[in-house]
Each structure stands twice: as C-alpha cells, then as structure tokens.
C-alpha cells in the first residue's frame, strides 16, 4: 500500500484534526494502557485515523499493508501540521500500532461484528453489506480463555498418554526379562539331562 498523501488526507478530515489536537496523540486507547492493542474497541475509537487508510487499502491489490517507513513519514508530517509533540519514541510506535489495527480489520473482514465495527469493514470490502443482519461474536478474551483450556486439556491428555507408555514399557521389559530367564533355565536343564545321558552311556 502506498502511503503517499496520507498526511494530507488526515489533515483534511475534521475528526482527525479535532481529536488529535484534543488528545495530543495520534491514536486513542484506554487510560492506563501503554500501547494501542489491536482490538475491536480500539479500532472503533480510532476510526478517524483508520477511515482514510482503509479507503486507500481497499484499492490496493491483495490488500497489502503499508510499510512502516513511509507510514512513519506521513505520521510525522501530520504531527507537525497539527502541532502534536511526537516525544522521545517518535512515530514508530503509533505506526506499528496503526498497522496492527489494519491487520486486525483485514483478518476479520469476513466476520460479522457489531454495527460500528462493521462500518469499518465495509470500507475495506463493500461486498459484506449483503450479509443478512449482524451477529455479535464473543470477545477475543473469551476465545483466548477457550484456547488456554484447550491447551490444558491437551497437556493432561499427553501426560496421561506418556504415563501409560512408561508403565506399559516397564511391564513389557519385565515380561521380556522373565521370558529370557525362563528360557535360560530351560536350556540349562536340557543341557544337564544330555550330560547325564551321555555319562550313563559310558
């Protein structure tokens, strides 16, 4: 995706000018959070920054995401135009976070979400407007919990399987050792019988 001209597009958007100047930062995220995580709520909170990007991304072949360097250049230009202090870390962090938000939307473009998030999806793929109604899916945190439970079940199953293999291996080893001992005793007994017959023949 070519980011050229994004600073101008953002500057010409009233919501971007007002919110960025008001918050004195490029992206909005919950109070206390150190970074803007790629979540639905953060996408909705930052739709003023995402809309111009999604319009351009929708016209990009295969929806290739922008590279960080040109995205940082456009964010730096926007910060300069709107009088926002970049800070010590520069615009690298917001560029990475903005790209992650785009990737988040791209991955979920064919999933049914809440209405406001669905509006953002429409910017990238207008064909999803043909969906019949909306279906609110469960939060990512819930799916993360399910994934953790699945990992726990898999770990317990693997541990039980390993225990069974260890016990079975020990029993098999004892059985082989027992058979070898019995065979050795049988051969030793047969040899004694042969020796006795041979001596008796003398």
17-22: long-range contacts, CB 8 A cutoff, minimum separation 24: 17/82, 19/48, 20/78, 20/82, 20/84, 21/82, 21/83, 21/84
For residue 195, name the pLDDT band (cuts at 50, 70, 90): low
* Residue 131 confidence (pLDDT): 56
The string of pLDDT tens digits covering residues 9-40 is 999 989 999 988 888 889 988 888 888 999 98
Asked if residues 16 and 49 have their Cβ atoms less than 8 Å apart, the reply is yes
What does DSSP assign to residue 129?
Answer: G
Contact of 102 with 32, CB cutoff 8 Å: no
Contact by Cβ (8 Å): 20, 82: yes
Sorted by sequence, the CB contacts under 8 Å of residue 21 that are 6+ apart come out as 82, 83, 84
- Residues of the chain with pLDDT > 70: what percent? 67
Q: Which range scores top for mean pLDDT: 22-36, 103-117, 153-167? A: 22-36
Please provide residue 32's backbone torsions phi and psi, each rounded to the nearest 5 degrees.
Answer: 95, -20
Average pLDDT over the chain reads: 76
Query: pLDDT tens across 62-86, in order?
Result: 888 999 999 999 999 999 988 888 7
For 18, 44, 121, 145, the CA distances from 116, given in Å and listed in that order, are 20, 7, 9, 25
Six token digits for residue 139: 């939060």
Residue 108, pLDDT above cutoff 90: no
Q: State phi, psi for 102 to the nearest 5 degrees.
A: -65, -45
- Per-residue pLDDT at 183 exceeds 50: yes
Measured CA to CA in angstroms, residue 145 lies from 40, 86, 137, 148, 152 at distances of: 17, 36, 15, 5, 11
Distances (CA, A) of 113 to 41, 125, 199: 11, 14, 96
3-state secondary structure of 32: coil
């Amino acid at each position: 995706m070519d980011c050229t001209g994004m600073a101008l597009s953002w500057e010409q958007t009233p919501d971007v000018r007002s919110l960025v100047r008001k918050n004195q930062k490029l992206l909005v995220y919950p109070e206390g959070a150190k970074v803007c995580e790629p979540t639905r709520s953060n996408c909705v909170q930052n739709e003023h920054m995402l809309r111009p990007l999604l319009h351009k991304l929708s016209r990009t072949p295969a929806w290739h995401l922008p590279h960080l360097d040109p995205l940082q250049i456009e964010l730096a230009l926007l910060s300069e135009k709107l009088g926002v202090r970049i800070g010590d870390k520069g615009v690298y962090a917001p560029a990475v976070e903005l790209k992650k938000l785009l990737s988040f939307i791209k991955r979920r473009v064919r999933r049914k979400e809440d209405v406001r998030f669905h509006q953002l999806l429409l910017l990238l793929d207008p064909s999803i407007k043909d969906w019949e109604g909306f279906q609110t899916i469960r939060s990512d945190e819930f799916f993360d919990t399910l994934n953790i439970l699945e990992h726990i079940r898999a770990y317990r199953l693997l541990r039980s399987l390993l225990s069974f293999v260890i016990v079975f291996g020990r029993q098999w080893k004892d059985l082989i050792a027992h058979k070898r001992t019995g065979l050795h005793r049988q051969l030793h007994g047969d040899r004694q019988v042969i020796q006795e017959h041979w001596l008796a023949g003398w």
